[in-house]
Chains A and B, each alone.
Chain A
């Protein structure tokens, strides 16, 4: 998928989630994953004003960050942040090498709060060769490790298909953490 298509997906999904029928008083994060022959790709969108509460380093981007790639000096901190707050485990309990491949700022709108900035992050991990690693287990708590009302909606993106809702990740006070989510194959 090209960078342009990824951007369009992220922006389009933000609009979809901001539809009046959506269930979110405030914008949520979204995670869309797609599976290729040898890897799994995740595109994560996070409202920047919510991320700023969990990762104050992003405030260095300023109050009105321009759309486009994130400044290079922030990349190591974002890489480390997603290393700490996103993980994929195969069905045999082996951890996949999930890493950030790009990060950019995009604009979005929401009926209640209007225009806001999104951080759009691409993550990717190679799949174990010669075996079925699915269902993968996604452990994810970006933002919600600090902002307890924050939620992330997870979608499966099949080739040429509308994203399919897989589940919702949110902080569970009974667990003291966000519950992992199983990611099925397309």
Chain B
């Protein structure tokens, strides 16, 4: 699909969306950030660490990165593990949230960005439109916004933060922190094993397929389609049971809202559904869990599958999940997924905010 064409109208008109349309700030690049397109997809992967695989390779890559950067940059990159720092994630672009930690991609050389890319590819899955590929497309969306709007919100692939909370090692607790506008990865490891992959935030604008950095991008339409498939399969009675009262203009368990889970689940209990419909719910859950490395994803999916009959699915708005204020929730004993379609902030249309949380294993289950 060809690149979206932004017609030559004023920025205010471009950003007028829905009722009482918002108007974004105008202006240039955001101070304190590189504000450049690092085109992570084109960054060359390193040859180092190719003799290792899996978690060992990630540790090797982390050591190689630390060995290649200045002491000052290493001081920013690697810090003590605290849940307080782990909680410093957000959906906002840099202008809306300044508490993220660690250096940004723009602070590294292309060679070092190759090591970071390899680390992210090791932590994530390599499935098309999921995992690392989804991450790359979300960053491409920021480059798209930087090139096609006059926003000064700090859009750019260079402006995504990376940090090691704790020292990457076979023993002890550490977290791979990566995040920026519309993206948060919080993969927590203990003694060589993934113990938590949440909170995990995904959003994207533009939502419709767009061309940027030499490729087509549509990182979250798979999630939307998986939800719509669930509701399309439900009977009228089931759909009624799944429908929540009221309107949702945003997710509940967003950044800095770690206490937002209601104690009682709402909606349609998955255990009442046929095996075929239950499988559709599992497929939707997989569009989140399969973002991470298969070793960790298999373990988490086994837990969510075991809890599936006690999991609830619900929606507000239209069951086709394609209009402003459409909202979906999957709420189980452990899993919590929300998907919210919101007005375009910088360009016309709608765009999703979505979060995957685990009520037990958020931040690896750590409290401090």
Contact = CB atoms under 8 A, between A and B. Distances in A.
Contacts of B353: 25
Interface string B18-51: 1111111100000000000000000000000000
A112 B23 contact: no
Contacts of A25: 91-92, 250-251, 254-255, 353
A62 B314 CA distance: 33
A48 B15 CA distance: 17
26 contacts: A20-B92, A25-B255, A25-B353, A26-B249, A26-B250, A52-B19, A53-B325, A59-B19, A63-B16, A63-B19, A63-B21, A64-B20, A111-B153, A112-B93, A112-B96, A115-B23, A117-B20, A146-B247, A147-B246, A148-B245, A148-B247, A149-B252, A173-B262, A173-B266, A174-B262, A174-B263
A65 B21 CA distance: 11
B68 interface: no
A174 B260 CA distance: 12
A117 to B, nearest CB: 6
Contacts of A147: 246-249
A20 B98 contact: yes
A23 interface: yes
A103 to B, nearest CB: 16
Interface in A35-64: 48-50, 52-54, 59, 63-64
Given A20-B97, A20-B98, A20-B99, A115 B247 contact: no
Determine chain B's interface SS by DSSP, over half rule. loop
A112 B345 contact: yes
Nearest to B20: A49
Contacts of B93: 112
Contacts of B15: 114
A119 to B, nearest CB: 10
Contact of A148 (B19, B246, B256): B246
B257 interface: yes
Interface string B254-290: 1111000011101000000000000000000000000
Nearest to B91: A25
A111 B256 contact: no
Given A21-B99, A64-B21, A114-B25, 4 more contacts: A20-B97, A53-B325, A114-B22, A115-B23
A116 B22 contact: yes
Interface of A: 20-21, 23, 25-26, 48-50, 52-54, 59, 63-65, 109, 111-117, 145-150, 171-174
A116 B249 CA distance: 15
A114 B264 contact: no
Contact of A114 (B23, B98, B252, B266): B23
B248 A20 contact: no
A63 B286 CA distance: 40
A20 B96 contact: yes
A111 B92 contact: yes
B163 to A, nearest CB: 18
B247 A111 contact: no
A126 B147 CA distance: 56
Interface string B231-255: 0000000000000111111111011
A10 to B, nearest CB: 17
A47 B338 CA distance: 23
Interface in B308-323: 316
B225 interface: no
Nearest 5 pairs between A and B by C-beta?
A: A111-B96, A114-B24, A49-B20, A113-B22, A148-B246
B171 interface: no
A140 to B, nearest CB: 16
Contacts of B266: 173
A113 B99 CA distance: 19
B360 interface: no
B95 interface: yes
B98 A48 contact: no
Contacts of B96: 20, 111-112
A23 B257 contact: yes
Contacts of A63: 16, 19-21
A51 B222 CA distance: 32
Contacts of B97: 20, 111
Contacts of A148: 244-248, 252, 316
